[in-house]
Structure 1
Amino acid sequence: MKFSAYPYTRPDFAHYQVTFDAAVKKLTAATSVQSASLAIEQLNQLRQTLFTQAKLAYIRHSLDTNDPFYEQEDDYWNQQQPRFDELHNRFYRALVTSPFKTELEKIFPPTLFLFSEDQLKLVQPETIPLKQQENEWISRYTRLIASAQIDFRGQTYTLAEVAAFFTDPDRSVRKAAQAAYEHFFTSHETELDEIYDQLVKLRTAIARQAGFKDYVAYADVAMNRWSYTRQQIQAFRKFIVTEVVPVTQKLYQQQAKRLTLEELEYYDLPLQFKTGNPKPVADQTELIQLAQSMYQELSPETGSFFQQLVQAELLDLTSHPGKQSGGYCEYLDSFKAPFIFANFNGTADDIDVLTHEAGHAFQTSQSTWITEPELVFPTSEAAEIHSMSMEFLTYPYLDRFFAEPDKYRFAHLSSALTFLPYGALVDHFQEAVYQHPDWSASQRKKCWRELEQRYCPEKNYRTSPALMRGTFWYRQGHIFEVPFYYIDYTLAQVCAFQFLLRHVIEQDPSAWSDYLTLCQLGGSQPFLTLLAKSQLASPFDFTKMSPLIKKISAQLEQWEKAVQ
């Protein structure tokens, strides 16, 4: 069945509640492990069906935010999702209080019980109206970004499309493109400030209502950070400042030399080579065909997986007006099928996004044995290892996509390393904002700019008063839509570096099997346990992270010489 034929039906809350409560009653009344297990399996099936309908509505709304039917469905889920979440707490409570809990923990993934305990801390009936409002403000942000129509050089573009000019070899073109892009955000500055101010206040109220000191503490529980603490995250950020930022600054100095510029302006940063960044040699249709052949060669598992994506039309990659920005992968539980969403713009980013989201999708194809819909994807920092590693695991096949694949490898790895400070910056900024929920919009911008100078001192904004006062974060949808889902990318990135070194550089034959193991485990284990089972060093083990960063830096030097 093709994605377009997947049926969507808005669930009736009252009917679902009756069916769900009856299944929960079976669990609470169970007189044996076997009867309790059967009740859990029924509850898994009910949640799978519901989650699938919610995700179908989300995907189809994001494909066209102007579609009136799915706009109504988006509004429905904004209102009803918090009610479904509160209803599901009845299952989580019955699970963790079951007299057969010890036996059930040997049958079902341990993370199901950890997740249940977290949800009981987070979801309170009193917070439902607040969460409904939060969803409405998030939708307002996504619709605003999707509505962008950028006039540039006599044509109209989406944000994704105009971003393609950021790497134009002509400096005046990329400067003008950045200005046009920036104008959209500055022209909506008041609205963006209002949206974020409302989100900060609502989230703070939600956290306090649930008994947390602030939203930072609430968010760490919401992100299921089961095997590490906020203090370890802060130590990791400090590691990035002290050991990664000096390396990235050298990369930017070398970049300036390659571009024959005395100093990089902010609009120069995306351009790696004076002759232009590497671009794919094919259009979208050909890229899919090339990717299909690549995945067939990579492994039998990836070959069959990608064939399923193509045959069922589970990819939507082209940018167009009204389409939500960014890229993502969703998993449709009832169909055991992933869906990849992207906004191709003809740059190397298209390959980044395709391989990244394919990593997510491949992991779900290996985790279909997991019947708990909350656990098919692991926690975010683990999930991003699959995607970021897949970007590296495809390095040997890049000559299919680029005329100069070495240039892409250097540019891509350089971008991955320089991302670490930015990812830490986003987390630090959010931590500061939610610890000071009464800050004004100008205070938040001031905080961003001060932190930006610490983590990303290469950002030279002297020609942009708006960016100088700290507005760049408007572009980062995660800050609005999924708060605190960002340090996860940096934790995953250093894990993905390990797969790069083992699989591509050292050609360790066990690297692929370890990656496959990681994918197959899905969300059945906490983050640090997943790392141990797939032979990966913890990001919090700085005695191993320091030499890792040195190895990546050395590899970049080697590839830069090869390119020159």
Structure 2
Amino acid sequence: MKFAEMEYKHPDRDALLNELAEIESRLKNAKDYEDFYQAFVDYETLGSHYGTQQNIASIRHTIDTRDDFYTKEDDYFNEINPVVGHAQNQIIKAIFDSPFVEQLRKDVPETFFTTNEFALQVISPEIIEDIQEENKYASDYQKLVASAQIEFDGKTYTLAGLEDKMNDKDREVRKRAHKAYWGWFAEHEKELGEIYDKLVKIRTRMAKKKGFENYIPLGYLRMMRLDYNKDDVEVYRKNILKDVVPVCMDLYKKQAERLGYDGNTLPVWDEKVEFESGNPRPKYHDQKLVNKALNMYKELSPQTGEFFQAMVDDELMDLNAKPGKAAGGYCTSLADYKRPFIFANSNGTSHDVETLTHEAGHAFQYWSSKDIFPPELAWPTMESAEIDSMSMEFFTWPWMKSIFEEDTDKYYFSHLSGCVKFLPYGVLVDHFQHEVYENPDWTPDERMACWRRLEKQYLPQKDYEEIDFLERGGWWMRQLHIFLNPFYYIDYTLAQVAALQFWTRMQKEDPEAFEDYKKVCAAGGTLPFRGLIELANLKVPFEEGCLGETMEEVQKWFDGHDASSY
């Protein structure tokens, strides 16, 4: 069934709550395990249907945020989700309190119980109104960013659409495009700062109600950090500074030399330009790029071929940037149909290819685990999910020749370089949020100063010449995760370290690398992060020496590839 044909029905709040209450009663009053288990199955089926309806509304809303109907539906879900979540928690409590729970533990993966134990600590009646308010301001951020209309060289661009000009071969075009892009953020600095200030205070208030000193421990619970903690993350941060930042600075120094600069710093408009001759660009766009991807996935494996053919046939992708479309890219699922959906904002740059292969990695993982029961365990936790997406970017390397043609070597260099350079940035985003939530009474200016201070540690190459907004510490305002999903960013870096290990195995032509990847995808959320890493025969990123060994392999590759010749 094509996505456009999938029916959307507005969920009736009271009817849904009545159904949940009935299931709760059945679980509590079950006379035997058979009755109990059937009630459990009915609960999961109802949850999948509700989630499907919510995701259909959300997808259609993000495809066109100007659509009043789906905007109202999206707002409606933001309003009722905390109430529904509370009712679902009552059911989970009934399950945990049941004399049949031990039998259920034999039939259901342990991660179902672990994640729900965390969830019980997250949702409670006293913070429902706070979550509703949080959802409102998060939506306000999305709407504001999606509404951007920027005049540039006689045309009107969205923020995503302008990124193509920000990577233009002509330095003066890049410079003017960056000034236009960040000029929009500077014009809306006060509004963006106020939205975030409200979000920080709402989240802090929730944490206090739950008995926490600040939002950080509640944030970890909400992110389902099942088997690592704040201390692990602090050690990981130090390893990034020790093992990764020096490699990045070497890359930036050579990049600056290629672009004609002295020293280690780069103007912001040249930071994404690896080569004086211009960045690699895909030779195919829109449907032609999708056709190339289809052929690629058919050749990669029978499973990936079947998966991507279904994505094309059922029109389960919306890839191109357009007015009114929400920013960013994502993959979500439609559980009733056991299908994933990919959303992106293609703009004609190499980022289009990385986004497509990245989100296809998420989608393939869901496709591989869609029959897992309970259905919510088809998805792993956030950091584990990113292993699937980031690794897919590397597993598709052999087919980049058919997409980038004479720019293929450039693409390999810029992609690997970008992955490595991303690690300090991703950790910076996480570190910044720890500082913010430890100091919830900071003013917007103090938050800006904090970002710039940390930025100088993790990204010392930054040169914000002529863009005062960035020099004052405004970059973080474009990072939607900071607004929408607090602490959801270090996940990308942890997964990147795992993906780089897969890349290393590919360089050594390890025949088991892709087989291990498929095992991880098929496992879905039945194992926590460390368990999935071990299943993949990789090293846990928190282990001493993991980053050092990986960076040694990366450095060897760069030493063997002279980018000045591209």
Q: TM-score range by the shorter chain?
A: over 0.9
Contact 1:92 1:119 in 2 (8 A): no
Question: Bigger CA drift: 232-241 or 87-96?
Answer: 87-96
1:542 is paired with a residue whose SS is: coil
**1:430 and 2:433 are equivalent in the alignment:** yes
The match for 1:522 is 524
- Once the two structures are TM-superposed, the CA of residue 95 in structure 1 deviates from its matched residue by 2.0
Q: Which residue, 392, 407, 410 being the options, matches 1:407?
A: 410
- Once the two structures are TM-superposed, the CA of residue 167 in structure 1 deviates from its matched residue by 1.9
Contact 2:108 2:373 in 1 (8 A): no
Superposition pairs for residues 244-263 of structure 1, below 5 Å? Answer: 244-263=244-263
Q: Which residue, 349, 352, 357 being the options, matches 1:350?
A: 352
Distance 1:50 1:318 in 2: 28
**1:281 and 2:283 are equivalent in the alignment:** yes
Partner deviation per Cα, 1:247-279 (whole Å, 9 max, x = no partner): 100000010111122252121101011111110
The match for 2:242 is 242
Partner deviation per Cα, 1:16-47 (whole Å, 9 max, x = no partner): 11112212222222333333222211111010
**1:220 and 2:220 are equivalent in the alignment:** yes
Distance 1:118 1:363 in 2: 24
The match for 1:113 is 113
1:490 is aligned with what amino acid? T
The match for 2:397 is 395
Distance 1:82 1:266 in 2: 41
Distance 1:406 1:245 in 2: 24
**1:379 and 2:381 are equivalent in the alignment:** yes
Partner deviation per Cα, 1:95-114 (whole Å, 9 max, x = no partner): 22222222211211111101
The match for 1:330 is 332
Distance 1:234 1:291 in 2: 39
State the TM-score, normalizing by the size of structure 1. Answer: 0.98
Question: Bigger CA drift: 408-417 or 206-215?
Answer: 206-215
Distance 1:344 1:323 in 2: 11
Q: Which residue, 491, 494, 509 being the options, matches 1:491?
A: 494
The match for 2:421 is 418
Contact 1:166 1:271 in 2 (8 A): no
2:462 is aligned with what amino acid? K
Q: Which residue, 462, 466, 469 being the options, matches 1:466?
A: 469
- Once the two structures are TM-superposed, the CA of residue 373 in structure 1 deviates from its matched residue by 4.0
1:79 is paired with a residue whose SS is: helix
1:20 is paired with a residue whose SS is: helix
**1:210 and 2:210 are equivalent in the alignment:** yes
**1:229 and 2:232 are equivalent in the alignment:** no
Contact 2:28 2:98 in 1 (8 A): yes
The match for 1:23 is 23
Distance 1:494 1:2 in 2: 36
Contact 1:406 1:563 in 2 (8 A): no
Question: How many residues get paired?
Answer: 563
1:193 is aligned with what amino acid? G
**1:307 and 2:321 are equivalent in the alignment:** no
Distance 2:301 2:380 in 1: 22
1:471 is aligned with what amino acid? G
**1:61 and 2:61 are equivalent in the alignment:** yes
Superposition pairs for residues 37-48 of structure 1, below 5 Å? Answer: 37-48=37-48
Superposition pairs for residues 123-272 of structure 1, below 5 Å? Answer: 123-263=123-263, 264-272=266-274
Partner deviation per Cα, 1:164-221 (whole Å, 9 max, x = no partner): 1222222111111100000110111110011000000001111111222211110101
Q: Which residue, 521, 526, 549 being the options, matches 1:547?
A: 549
The match for 1:13 is 13
Partner deviation per Cα, 1:532-560 (whole Å, 9 max, x = no partner): 11211100012232111111121122233
Partner deviation per Cα, 1:466-506 (whole Å, 9 max, x = no partner): 1111000011000001111000000000000111111x311
Distance 1:529 1:296 in 2: 29
- Once the two structures are TM-superposed, the CA of residue 371 in structure 1 deviates from its matched residue by 3.2
State the TM-score, normalizing by the size of structure 2. Answer: 0.98
Contact 1:407 1:563 in 2 (8 A): no
The match for 2:447 is 444
CA RMSD of aligned residues (A): 1.2
1:543 is aligned with what amino acid? G
2:458 is aligned with what amino acid? Y
The match for 2:559 is 557
Contact 1:325 1:343 in 2 (8 A): yes
- Once the two structures are TM-superposed, the CA of residue 563 in structure 1 deviates from its matched residue by 5.2
2:111 is paired with a residue whose SS is: helix
Superposition pairs for residues 363-378 of structure 1, below 5 Å? Answer: 363-378=365-380
Q: 1:319 to 1:561 in 2, by over 3 A?
A: closer
**1:455 and 2:458 are equivalent in the alignment:** yes
2:412 is aligned with what amino acid? R
Partner deviation per Cα, 1:342-376 (whole Å, 9 max, x = no partner): 00000000000000000000000001122334322
Distance 1:562 1:23 in 2: 65
Q: 1:30 to 1:156 in 2, by over 3 A?
A: same
Contact 2:258 2:564 in 1 (8 A): no
Contact 2:533 2:539 in 1 (8 A): yes
Question: Bigger CA drift: 295-304 or 100-109?
Answer: 100-109
Partner deviation per Cα, 1:276-305 (whole Å, 9 max, x = no partner): 111010121100000000000000000000
Distance 1:266 1:13 in 2: 49
2:453 is aligned with what amino acid? E
1:559 is paired with a residue whose SS is: coil
Distance 1:432 1:140 in 2: 24
Distance 1:97 1:116 in 2: 13
1:148 is paired with a residue whose SS is: coil
Q: 1:160 to 1:561 in 2, by over 3 A?
A: closer
Question: Bigger CA drift: 358-367 or 165-174?
Answer: 165-174
1:332 is aligned with what amino acid? L
Question: Bigger CA drift: 173-182 or 365-374?
Answer: 365-374
Contact 2:243 2:547 in 1 (8 A): no
Distance 2:528 2:34 in 1: 26
Distance 2:91 2:370 in 1: 22
The match for 2:102 is 102
Contact 1:528 1:538 in 2 (8 A): yes
1:437 is paired with a residue whose SS is: coil
1:65 is paired with a residue whose SS is: coil
Distance 1:507 1:315 in 2: 32
The match for 2:321 is 319
1:375 is paired with a residue whose SS is: helix
Distance 2:197 2:38 in 1: 46
Structure 2, unaligned runs of 5 or more: none
Identical-pair percentage: 44
**1:84 and 2:81 are equivalent in the alignment:** no
